[in-house]
Structure 1
């Protein structure tokens, strides 16, 4: 078979997941915001399935990692749970059982020739830090997060060479403070903007701590994972272009600019100041952000955003919302993933890559998530027990063609991680939509490779398709 799309040498063919979505709550001494939300409101989760077992990774990590290696994955991003590793949040005293667990997981990855990429925060803020201080609203919590990060670098930095500060920090802003899909489900635009700033500061403070660590001195690197959703205007009319530009400023550049360039987007700052919702900051904090940009970038891409000018006058009695400046636009005849309600638009993969090449110093970056969630995949299981997820293979190949074209055109992309290796628990959606190369039976916890798992094995072996 001839390989038409050959990727660069040492390309990462891997997958992403997280601690709270795979490990289960076994032996975990603290609850994060999602654990707590499930404990108080089980019916908010699809079919009442919470994070208590997830995909049982805590107990089956050896077998799971072996399966990841068996399908050819050479790199995996997961996370270290603050609520598992740390016994006392104020002093960062560790839980010895948790240290042993993460050591074993890291060693198992390395034994299977898989590069471990460790993320420090994947929506799993300890609930007691929310209850006591307001979570990411508090700059004290930022400093506690840095203590946790420093502990991770000291304990695991001898073997983990690739670190991530946050996964999709914008989703914390949207979910907790704007659109009510993460606990505590509040709507407060002013708080949302402050949290957006605080998360940027937290990330920069962790980068600063990393630079002082032994891991950095031994060639380790630290990045951040952002969900970039390119914003396309409905038309070339001035009002539509302005609406899309604001969406780009607020939802993409608000993290992309500070983490890569060390500065906030001037047009965003101007708008937030005019509206009286600009964050509180100090010159010292802004210097920390300026001087601690990331070594590399992870990009999660699933769907585009499309914007049009505001149809109705904004109700000033409401809390400030970014929606003041735009309406979402549905492209006629758009391709959809009906299960997730997301538009399928692979071309955006190219647009993201060229934007990073041209406007973000051509920073070293990789696709850290891309995937297709499908409900009821069991119906595609054939007589031999194989789930024939051809739609997922088609989805990946289409996106990879655009990524390949971007690399040919000078994009500095070093890898592609799918979401996800093994079907995992997905927040309030639980197991509604499955994403994995490997299926999991929730009752038996038996795991089986899907057709896409055999596909990625061949792609990784050939370094292309």
Structure 2
């Protein structure tokens, strides 16, 4: 113990940084050669669905300001950074011609990050499908799988001399849930059979990218980033316990098991078959998934999933949704982020770590997203910058649980926040701010927040006192 309390020391070489994405940070410049993606198209036809009718054309203007933005990585203590390549910027139609401006842009970004001694973890896909492929069926079509494989290979060829750690997909379950079981991602369909096909095709594409990476660069490491949200049952009743188990099958194990273990859980397959949802699957494809598992794992964690037995009895002919199997549970007395409305449950990160240790061979992993979104953050500005002590406390509380897990043998090698600079966020635009760096929307000025200065101290000390 010290006068300040306990010092939480992290292992030597532990990585500190943040994640962002191309569609949320880059913006669109006239004549830059970028093609439409599904978000660009959707905003064009239904701008009223987006908070403040603000679309993805401006974001945080990283495309124009990356040279000075990258310097801010060093000023906030980054030793690792996870950006993404926009498929629609690199290959505007999804297949075919490569945009030379995109190649120049991404190579310069990667070179400048490397020059600062910051490790790159580059993501190939962050919810942003080229719209030309969406018109052909999107992820419901296997044509998109092969197009993605070709895109991934092109990225490995073009940037493999600058990048040796890759991500195939970010949170692939989210477009399934929000685009095919809900109305929060385009194409806003509620179709369980299409949802299963989209999930399977995405997994197949991920496995093909792993295969391509290892073929082209045997020394490179490649992962998938999953939002591993633990499912906690309302009670010990068999009905609630079953609901939590099925929720975890759908939300977590549907990508975790094939990505890390090379096979789908038998119980999940049985449910899919029971409801006639099995997509077109070949033995050759299953072999690709089995033989091309990821080298390490990225884990995004924000909040737990609390569930209970379904409240509605579904009859034959009803539209099949997840509510058939489980429903959410609003736990009384929970700790909550009042700005975002999300539960704060730091213990969830420890539980994830122990699950990966016990059931997934203690695979190497990193926290690739964790963070606190706050609306109206300008109210906390004093002396010219945002005093976000609430964010520092949020990070500390999660790091304490992560530290405990590492002490107990969890194989976690780094912690990355969402996000670096306040960015555009899908339907919410700029409503909730997550950054270590404030973005002034009127001037595009960047101002480091208190948390950004604190994060640098943590990175330099490889730990913190509490």
What TM-score do you get using the length of structure 2 for normalisation? 0.97
- 1:414 is matched with which residue? 413
- 1:404 is matched with which residue? 403
Partners of 1:3 and 1:464 within 8 A in 2 = no
Q: Which runs of 5+ in 1 are unaligned?
A: none
- Alpha-carbon offset, residue 322 of structure 1: 2.2
- 2:425 is matched with which residue? 426
- 2:457 is matched with which residue? 458
Deviations 1:245-266 (A, max 9, x none): 0001111000000000000010
- 1:52 is matched with which residue? 57
Deviations 1:173-196 (A, max 9, x none): 011100110011111111001111
Partners of 2:234 and 2:306 within 8 A in 1 = yes
Cα distance in 1, alignment partners of residues 141 and 263 from structure 2: 21
- 2:162 is matched with which residue? 159
- Alpha-carbon offset, residue 315 of structure 1: 4.1
Cα distance in 2, alignment partners of residues 88 and 340 from structure 1: 36
> 1:112-261 counterparts in 2 under 5 A?
112-131=116-135, 133-213=136-216, 216-217=217-218, 219-261=219-261
Partners of 1:80 and 1:121 within 8 A in 2 = yes
Cα distance in 2, alignment partners of residues 296 and 423 from structure 1: 28
- 2:18 is matched with which residue? 15
- Alpha-carbon offset, residue 29 of structure 1: 2.8
Cα distance in 2, alignment partners of residues 279 and 20 from structure 1: 30
Q: CA RMSD in A?
A: 1.1
Question: Structure 1's 179 and 2: CA in aligned 2 closer, same or farther, altered over 3 A?
Answer: same
Cα distance in 2, alignment partners of residues 310 and 192 from structure 1: 20
- Alpha-carbon offset, residue 89 of structure 1: 3.1
Cα distance in 2, alignment partners of residues 293 and 323 from structure 1: 31
- 2:82 is matched with which residue? 77
Q: Which runs of 5+ in 2 are unaligned?
A: none
- 2:388 is matched with which residue? 389
- Alpha-carbon offset, residue 45 of structure 1: 1.1
Cα distance in 2, alignment partners of residues 28 and 66 from structure 1: 26
Question: Structure 1's 223 and 394: CA in aligned 2 closer, same or farther, altered over 3 A?
Answer: same
Give the secondary structure class of the aligned counterpart of 1:316. coil
Partners of 1:262 and 1:293 within 8 A in 2 = yes
What TM-score do you get using the length of structure 1 for normalisation? 0.97
- 1:281 is matched with which residue? 281
Deviations 1:72-126 (A, max 9, x none): 11111010111001145333x3111110000110011012221111100000001
Give the secondary structure class of the aligned counterpart of 2:58. coil
Partners of 1:28 and 1:83 within 8 A in 2 = no
- Alpha-carbon offset, residue 410 of structure 1: 0.3
Question: Structure 1's 28 and 51: CA in aligned 2 closer, same or farther, altered over 3 A?
Answer: farther
Cα distance in 2, alignment partners of residues 2 and 457 from structure 1: 20
Give the secondary structure class of the aligned counterpart of 2:10. coil
Cα distance in 2, alignment partners of residues 333 and 107 from structure 1: 48
Partners of 1:3 and 1:462 within 8 A in 2 = no
Cα distance in 1, alignment partners of residues 171 and 64 from structure 2: 27
Which is worse superposed, 290-299 or 277-286?
277-286
Partners of 2:312 and 2:323 within 8 A in 1 = no
- Alpha-carbon offset, residue 338 of structure 1: 2.5
Cα distance in 2, alignment partners of residues 329 and 28 from structure 1: 46
Partners of 1:69 and 1:113 within 8 A in 2 = no
Give the secondary structure class of the aligned counterpart of 2:385. coil
Moved over 4 A (4+): none
- 1:30 is matched with which residue? 35
Tell whether 2:100 aligns with 1:96.
Answer: yes
Partners of 2:93 and 2:131 within 8 A in 1 = no
- Alpha-carbon offset, residue 316 of structure 1: 3.4
Tell whether 2:105 aligns with 1:106.
Answer: no
- Alpha-carbon offset, residue 25 of structure 1: 1.2
